Chain A
């Protein structure tokens, strides 16, 4: 079974994330980035499935040159090859354009017949959680998203999805697109052997035109949404912090009473 895993390069959540003042896009140049943590779960799941079903794992990223780091990490974990769609035209793309590029790259990477596409449930920077649904829509394959358990048998996908009001079991046949949550597995760390092996693994770099997509359809100018302003939230007013000296609970209740929460 051939599996494509979409992985995103994101600014490190531990660093101070910000925007570019010129065009209101996420600043990816001046902060350290890494493979979106949730996508590690998708890579891990792909590796396990490939081991069980004799498959090959291709990792795919759409992003600037530095996004190659996200591919590198996935290759070190054990993925077989990488595809990097890297094109200045992509800068500032919204979710719709990103999904267009991803769908095009998946199609090209699989010769038009993907078997299984894996993604993270959401990225750690945008946290929209919409790209998987959009890619499924564009590819016309079943959408099996937010999987916290996954089995694939006899060409059928079965997943558990925990929703707000119920826990559902979803079934579909391959080809399918599956997004995973961080409940699904425990991602492995790259081994020394994995790190050495990754250096020799093939990575192809494609432009938007390579995918047969008109560059005018992507990027900031083509975005269907526009950030009109951004503002750093004023730092919270320093709160009152007390040390419990036997009356901490009562003081807490007084605070709540004063705030009319009772």
Chain B
């Protein structure tokens, strides 16, 4: 069976959830091989094997950590040349998409980003995307080179399927040209104890309607074990960090449940949340466009509705 390369998404060896999703999806296309760039492969190996990685290619080169995107693209292009895989799968984050883009140009391959599904159809790799702020569903295929597909986090439920996960160390000579945009400082995001926005099963977001007080939003999120998001209006006002912004120029999320609180539902906000499975809104304006999307909506003041809902959730959970 043909090999399918999966780029491991990790922070210092700690796997992000999307990696297991990619391995699960890769099994539909062939035999997954994980590509682990950077330190920590020995720790990651167990999980990679659990989700179906037959091989784990490990490339440890300091340049891949020190310089933006270009070295990782060179490593993957070299592995694509070497293994002629049936496909290369990556996570559709800004970095993942950029790596995919450069590998595509280097190897003369078609690239599809922001996919929410991937399948083998008549021997070809077929993808599903949601476009124009979620108003259309598009299926597409790659017609040249190695199909390179970047999949959004939360695209598939993960399922274990143990495989050998044999580590194979690979050396790739990284060119001087790729060592040009240097990461001179990196400030890790502050830990909040909450799940990561793009990985979370539930997201509760606050907007201008919070008036700057996110405490009812956070308390409700915590009762549900959810991540906290924000509209750009809330971010621009300095009420919440930009890294929590949901929308066209923020994060694209597709959780099982999205709760918009004091958010009107502008097209740019929708672009980041419209693929959520279930959508709930709390807004005091019954005309707010967000209500066009909801499965359940409460017309009311979030400062009354959220605390009551938080108590009720806590009580129901016992």
A134-B105, A146-B94 as given contacts; A232 in contact with B267, CB under 8 Å:
no
Evaluate contact between A143 and B181: CB separation under 8 angstroms. yes
Give B294-311 as 1s and 0s: 1 = Cβ < 8 Å from A's Cβ atoms: 111111110011111111
B186 near A143: Cβ-Cβ < 8 Å: no
Tell whether A129 pairs with B98 under 8 Å between CB atoms, given A121-B249, A183-B242, A252-B298: yes
Q: Specify which chain A residues have a CB less than 8 angstroms from the CB of B70 in the assembled complex.
A: 136-137, 143
Residue B237 CB within 8 A of the other chain:
no
Q: List A contacts of B109 (CB < 8 A).
A: 224
Tier of interface size on chain B: 35 or more
- Whether A13 contacts B267 in the complex (CB less than 8 A), given A224-B110, A244-B304, A261-B256, comes out as yes
Within 8 A of B (CB), among A86-145: 94-96, 99, 121-122, 124-125, 127-134, 136-138, 140-145
A256 at the interface (CB under 8 A from B): yes
| A250 CB → nearest B CB, Å | 5
Determine whether B264 belongs to the interface, using a CB cutoff of 8 Å to chain A.
Answer: no
In the complex the two chains form, is A133's CB within 8 Å of B102's CB?
A: yes
Tally chain A residues at the interface, Cβ within 8 Å. 85
Q: Is the CB of B182 within 8 A of A230?
A: no
Task: Determine if B113 and A128 form an interchain contact, defined as CB atoms under 8 angstroms apart.
Answer: yes
Q: Does B248 contact A (CB under 8 A)?
A: yes
Contact A14 B267 (CB under 8 A): yes
Pairwise interchain contact B94-A129, C-beta atoms closer than 8 A: yes
- Bound CA–CA A171/B179 (angstroms): 11
A38 to B112, CA, bound (A): 21
Known interface pairs A230-B137, A253-B312. Does A172 touch B257 (Cβ–Cβ under 8 Å)?
Answer: no
* Bound form: Cα–Cα A163–B101 in Å: 17
B188 beta carbon closer than 8 Å to chain A? yes
Q: Are B105 and A96 in contact (CB under 8 A)?
A: yes
B1 within 8 A of A: no
Q: Does B106 contact A (CB under 8 A)?
A: yes
Which stretch, A42-50, A207-215, A235-243, touches the partner chain B?
Answer: A235-243
| Binary contact readout B62-105 vs A (1 if CB under 8 angstroms, 0 otherwise) | 00000011100100000000000000000001110111111011
Residue among B101, B144, B180, B291 with the most chain A CB within 10 A?
B101
Q: Is A229's CB within 8 Å of the partner chain B?
A: yes
B249 touches A182 (CB 8 A): yes
Contact A172–B105 (Cβ < 8 Å): no
Tell me which of B188, B198, B278, B304 contacts A248 (CB under 8 A): B304
B188: A residues at CB distance < 8 A? 165-166
Judged by a CB distance under 8 angstroms, whether A200 is at the interface is no
Assembled-state Cα–Cα distance A249/B301 (Å) = 10
On whether A230 and B136 interact (CB within 8 A), knowing A121-B249, A172-B182, A224-B110, the answer reads yes
A128 CB, min distance to chain B CBs, angstroms: 5
Instruction: List the B side residues contacting A182 at CB < 8 Å.
Output: 232, 249
Would you give the 0/1 interface string for B225-261, flagging 1 where the beta carbon is closer than 8 Å to chain A?
A: 0000000100000000011000011010000110000
A:176-220 near B, CB below 8 Å: 176, 181-183
| A162 within 8 Å of B (CB atoms) | yes
Contacts of B68 in A (CB 8 A): 143-145, 161, 168, 170
In contact, B181 and A228 (Cβ under 8 angstroms): no
Chain A residues whose C-beta falls within 8 Å of the C-beta of B111 in the assembled complex:
95-96, 130, 224-225
B106: chain A residues within 8 A (beta carbon): 137
Q: Main SS of the interface on chain A?
A: mixed
- Minimum C-beta distance from A261 to chain B (A): 5
What chain A residues lie within 8 Å of B243 (beta carbons)? Answer: 162, 164, 167
A240 CA / B167 CA spacing, docked (Å):
52
- Distance between A51 CB and nearest chain B CB, rounded to angstroms: 24
Our pick among A176, A230, A246, A259 for the contact of B138 (Cβ within 8 Å) is: A230
Q: Is B173 an interface residue (CB 8 A)?
A: no
- B248 engages A127 (CB within 8 Å): yes
Q: Once the chains are docked, how many angstroms separate the CA of A99 from the CA of B67? A: 22
Q: Return chain A residues, CB-CB under 8 Å to B136.
A: 18-19, 230-233
Question: In whole angstroms, how far apart are the Cα atoms of A69 and B205 in the complex?
Answer: 36
B133 contacts partner chain A, Cβ-Cβ < 8 Å: yes
The docked-state distance in angstroms from the alpha carbon of A239 to that of B282 is: 13
List, in ascending order, chain B residues with CB within 8 A of A244's CB.
298-301, 304-305
* A224/B317 contact (C-beta < 8 A), A170-B184, A172-B180, A248-B300 known: no
What residue in chain A is nearest B144 (Cβ atoms)? A224
Tell me if A38 and B249 are in contact (CB < 8 A): yes
Q: Which chain B positions have C-beta within 8 A of A249?
A: 298, 304-312
Contacting residue for A259 out of B99, B137, B278, CB 8 A:
B278
Residues of B within 8 Å of A168, CB to CB, are 68, 183, 185-187
| A-B complex: 8 closest residue pairs judged by Cβ atoms | A249-B308, A244-B300, A224-B110, A253-B312, A130-B101, A142-B180, A249-B309, A133-B98
Q: List 13 A-B contacts (CB under 8 A).
A: A127-B131, A143-B180, A162-B242, A166-B188, A168-B187, A169-B185, A225-B140, A225-B141, A230-B136, A232-B135, A239-B279, A241-B294, A242-B297
